[in-house]
Amino acid sequence: MATLFDNSWIALSKPGRAKTYFNLETLPDMHLEDKSYNKINAWWLAEFSRLIYRQEQDELGKNADGLTRQSVLQQVNFQELRFFNHKSTQCAVFAPKNEQFAVLVFRGTHDAYNWLLNLNTWPATWKMGGTVHAGFKQSFEAVWQAVDSYLETLQVPIYYTGHSLGGAMTVLAASRRPPYALYTFGCPRVGNQAFTETLQGFPHYRVVNHCDIFTTVPARFFNFSHKGKLIYIASNNQFLFNPSDELIKFDRKQTDPNLSEPTNFRHWYDPAEFLADHTPVNYVAHLERRL
């Protein structure tokens, strides 16, 4: 069963309600030896970034539906080694059953408190260098000491990944403890140029879906900038590597042909494309078709 595009408000604001994951009939192995951008690795990490939104009984109580991250992961020969939960920040460490590597995945924005932190864009000093988004820093510091202590116990390569706010958290984490490789999806700007210079010594890939507006914030007024190799999903569904700003500006004026497909659930009352393109499942659907 193919992963369908979903442009509804629920898919955008409540991605943890999804019921199906890893929808390829034959699951390809992650390419651990390939540190260049790898479309298979990107797909796995996008699915992990989507799965981490799923809340369970420890967060929802009796409202939990019974489908757990662990049960989903077991179906694809992975496991959740550890889950970290703070009011503003959630993340987990996933690993294959053979534990040859691990994946640190942060959850993105999923409630009103996260949105308030997103709005706190004033620059804050970052001890590794430069300045960063104050709200992102606050969320990150709430959980990083515990996460860092756990990562210290792992003697295997560790990927970092996340969608939206989760991507921003992984960028901050990479500044503190460099990963084996970093993949983000729909990630906003995190810090200024001096901060991005602390992101050294590891492959860094930034996947952006067409009109996703969250990748353009905070405004350049704060002198924040992106880092890493850009993988841009164009309006014609082609994947472009480090395209120019001019090309992106032109392409974002074009209509995505997926919007007219009958399987791409879209109604007049759905969010505009610049919001719908941020939806986690739409990143997965694009990457799945790339395979």
**CATH code of the domain in which 201 resides:** 3.40.50.1820
Q: At what angle do helices 134-151 and 112-119 cross, to 10 degrees?
A: 110
Poorest-pLDDT segment among 94-98, 152-156, 231-235, 253-257? 253-257
The 10 Å Cβ neighbour count of residue 284 is 26
Strands 89-96 and 102-106: antiparallel
The verdict on residue 149 lying in a domain is yes
The verdict on residue 168 lying in a domain is yes
The per-residue pLDDT for range 24-82, each reduced to its tens digit, is: 989 999 999 889 999 999 999 999 999 999 999 988 888 888 899 999 999 999 999 99
Q: How far apart are CA 92 and CA 122, in angstroms?
A: 28
264 falls in which pLDDT band (50, 70, 90)?
low
Look up the domain containing 135 and give its range: 9-15+41-290
The verdict on residue 3 lying in a domain is no
Q: How far apart are CA 107 and CA 4, in angstroms?
A: 21
The verdict on residue 89 lying in a domain is yes
Q: What is the dihedral of CA 270, 22, 100, 82, to 10 degrees?
A: 60
The verdict on residue 2 lying in a domain is no
Q: How far apart are CA 284 and CA 291, in angstroms?
A: 11
The per-residue pLDDT for range 15-30, each reduced to its tens digit, is: 999 999 999 989 999 9
The verdict on residue 218 lying in a domain is yes
pLDDT higher than 70, residue 113: no
User: Structurally, how many domains does the chain consist of?
Assistant: 1
Position 70 scores a pLDDT of 97
The verdict on residue 255 lying in a domain is yes
The verdict on residue 25 lying in a domain is no
Q: How far apart are CA 249 and CA 255, in angstroms?
A: 13
